[in-house]
Amino acid sequence: MRRKTVWFSAAVFVFVPLFSSTAQDATSRLIPFALRTSLPPQTTQEVDVQLWDAQSGGALIFDESYTGPNALPVDEGGSISFWFGSLQMPPGLNPGDFPSGSSRYLDVTQGEVSVLSARLPLTAVAFALSPGPQGPLGLRDQLDRRDRPERKDRRDPREPRVHQGRPDLRDQAGRKGRRGPKDRPGPMTSRPI
């Protein structure tokens, strides 16, 4: 029984990280595109999708050929859709091709001739997996709060509730509660017993 547990544990520790690392590639290193082109509508076309470092001319950084079974269907409006980086093994674009502060442009060519009206500039979009702590209020929020009448019973929702007068329920900051600006007692002061 003990041998089975050891082998099972070894398999979990080896294979779970292996599969979880490949799961990241498909979501974070592929870029979806839907582009209007000059290709004939209602056809399937073989094209090269290219990554450049300049709007015109410049150096080719990366290209991906959609040929044979990977050829792209063109819809009735002349648009194509694809996931840039999906044909690589493992799937995904190299993050090193997108250094901070650099400009990158996308082009779609057929027989070395672009089927786009111009190269498409790629821009970064900020995102977060979790919002994190709230930052300082902006000017608009400060003005909104200034214009609202203040209620006496309103308390800061981030402050813990303190039941005054009962020693077993006092705030963890102590008898006087938290200190406010200029070391004055804050809104949670307790009365002496």
Can you give the pLDDT at residue 35? 94
- Residue 132 in any domain: the answer is no
- Residue 162 in any domain: the answer is no
Q: How many Cα neighbours within 13 Å face the side chain of 144?
A: 5
- Residue 147 in any domain: the answer is no
Domain that holds residue 78: 30-122
- Vertex 167 angle, CA 164 and 171, to 5°: 65
Can you give the pLDDT at residue 135? 74
- Residue 172 in any domain: the answer is no
C-alpha distances out from residue 188 to 4, 54, 154, 173, 191, Å = 58, 60, 12, 10, 10
- Which residues of the chain fall below pLDDT 70? 1-27, 127-130, 142-193
Q: In degrees rounded to 5, what are phi and psi of residue 170?
A: -70, 160
Query: 155 and 187 in contact (C-beta within 8 Å)?
Result: yes
What CA–CA distance (Å, rounded) separates 71 from 39? 13
What CA–CA distance (Å, rounded) separates 44 from 47? 10
What CA–CA distance (Å, rounded) separates 82 from 182? 60
Can you give the pLDDT at residue 10? 47
- Residue 40 in any domain: the answer is yes
Can you give the pLDDT at residue 21? 47
- Residue 187 in any domain: the answer is no
How many structural domains comprise the chain? Answer: 1
- Residue 18 in any domain: the answer is no
Task: Please indicate, yes or no, whether the overall pTM of this predicted structure exceeds 0.85.
Answer: no
- Residue 140 in any domain: the answer is no
We report the CATH number of the domain holding residue 50 as: 2.60.40
Can you give the pLDDT at residue 24? 47
What CA–CA distance (Å, rounded) separates 96 from 92? 12
Query: 66 and 48 in contact (C-beta within 8 Å)?
Result: yes
